[in-house]
Amino acid sequence: MIDRLRSYLLRVPTVFRNVFFLAGATFAGWMLFFDENNMIVQYHRRHQLSDLSRKATYYRQEIARVDNQIEQLTTNSATQERYARENYMMKKDSEDVFVIVQR
């Protein structure tokens, strides 16, 4: 039985029988698959980071748009009137407002 095991071991190339190669391969396998920060976790984190970056860009654009609206509402009386009519359904004394609800 020992002779059979030796014959199998002699068929394996010497590079793969090296202690340093075995230790390195074991370490690489552990880091790739079993560690807390394995490759799957790193992939999910990278995907989450790109998603959060897209959201941050969107919110920066929205903040700029809202800042522009605030600027227009504080400086332009025509914009204030239009905003009040559209959002709060305010009207002039000589007008009637009809609200149409679409289903």
Task: Please give the Cα distance from 14 to 54 (Å, whole number).
Answer: 51
Q: What is the pLDDT of residue 40?
A: 86
Q: What is the pLDDT of residues 47-74, one digit of tens each?
A: 999 999 999 999 999 999 999 999 999 9
Q: Which residue type sits at 64?
A: A
> So what's the pLDDT on residue 52?
98
Nearest-angstrom CA–CA distance, 11 and 6: 9
Instruction: Identify the pLDDT of residue 24.
Output: 92
